[in-house]
Amino acid sequence: MPNGTLEAVLWDLDGVIADTGTHHCRAWQDAFGKRGVSFTEEDFMRHFGQRNDTIIRDTIGDSISPEELDIIADEKEENYRRRLVKSIIKPLPGAIELIRSLGQNNIKMAIASSAPMENIQPIIQRLDIEDCFQAIAWGREVAEGKPSPQIFLLAARKLQAEPRSCVVIEDAVAGVAAAKRAGMKCVAVTNSHPGNSLTEADLVTTTLAAVSVGDLAGLFRLAAG
155's enclosing H/E stretch is: helix 150-159
Task: State the catalytic residue, choosing from 14, 19, 53, 202.
Answer: 14
Q: Where are the alpha helices (DSSP H) in 3-65?
A: 21-33, 41-47, 52-60
**Residue 27: strand, helix, or coil:** helix
**Residue 5: strand, helix, or coil:** coil
122: preceding bond cis by omega (within 30 degrees)? no
Tell me the β-bridge partners of 14. 18
* 184-187 contact pairs (CB < 8 A, 24+): 184/10, 184/152, 184/156, 185/216, 185/219, 185/220, 185/223, 187/211, 187/215, 187/216, 187/219
Task: State the catalytic residue, choosing from 12, 43, 53, 171.
Answer: 12
Q: Is 14 a catalytic residue?
A: yes
d(CA 70, CA 47): 18
Q: Which residues are catalytic?
A: 12, 14
